[in-house]
Amino acid sequence: MFLTTGNAMEALTDAVIPALRGDATLSALVTGVYTKVPQAQRTSHPYVRVSDPLMTDFGSMGHGGGHVQFAVDVWHRKPHTVQAVLARVAVVLERRELALVGFTVVGGSLHCVEARTFDEPDPDKPEESLIHGHQTWEALVDEA
């Protein structure tokens, strides 16, 4: 049983979103940064979604935290746009020290462990495809 003060996955993603939204260069490249893409209206591409948090190697001896992973995804019709967005996300996040509520990112441990792009059907236009860029990020998070 852990004596954590909160959820390390939520703490990390809650810190990542404002870091990405606060970068003027990234904001100029995308229409928004989301954890859930708004469904009430069609969201224009490109946009960034931060999702799929996963925590492994939980803390020990009553301390919370562990290895936290999350995904960053972007979609657009042009491959170079997707690559530019992924590159900027990497500049903003790689080895960054983030302020988390109730937790700390162990110094310099936030890093991208995988990046790839691939085609996928556009659900709004089935006759066309989108370029989907995907990054998997990881950090070691300890309870503060």
In this prediction, residue 59 carries a pLDDT of: 59
Residue 143, SS3 per DSSP: strand
Of the candidate ranges 58-62, 96-100, 136-140, the one whose mean pLDDT is the lowest: 58-62
The predicted model gives 77-91 an average pLDDT of 97
Backbone angles phi, psi at 10, to 5 degrees: -65, -40
CA pair distance 47, 68, nearest whole angstrom: 23
Instruction: Give the per-residue pLDDT at 132.
Output: 97
In this prediction, residue 80 carries a pLDDT of: 96
Per-residue model confidence (pLDDT) at position 12: 94
Is a pLDDT exceeding 50 seen at residue 67?
Answer: yes
